[in-house]
Amino acid sequence: MNIEKIKNDLEQNKGKLLNFKFNGSRNQTEVFKGTIENTYNYVFLIRVDDDNAKIRSFSYTDILTESLEIFVDK
């Protein structure tokens, strides 16, 4: 998988409610639902689906290195 394919996949799923799993430092894992708000040259924004509706930013390399995983409900 390359960065361009990741960008295209994210653009196609923009606005859909998706499941995310973020593997942070020190073996901390965070699972959350959200929608992809915008995609930019180096980062993309996710609006987290919770009471605060905060926006988080990630880089495309987070997906490439599997720090961020995206799951689509079927």
Interval 27-54: pLDDT, tens: 899 999 999 999 999 999 999 998 888 9
Report the pLDDT value the prediction gives residue 26, as an integer from 0 to 100. 87
pLDDT for 1 beyond 70: yes
More confident residue, 55 or 24: 55
Distances (CA, A) of 64 to 26, 53, 74: 19, 26, 23
Residue 72 region, left (φ>0) first, then alpha (ψ -120 to 50), else beta? Answer: beta
pLDDT for 74 beyond 80: no
Report the pLDDT value the prediction gives residue 52, as an integer from 0 to 100. 85
Q: What stretch of H or E contains 9? A: helix 3-12
Domain boundaries, the chain: 3-71
pLDDT for 9 beyond 80: yes
Question: Which overall architecture, per CATH, does domain 3-71 show?
Answer: Roll (2.30)
| CA gap 12, 18 in Å, rounded | 12
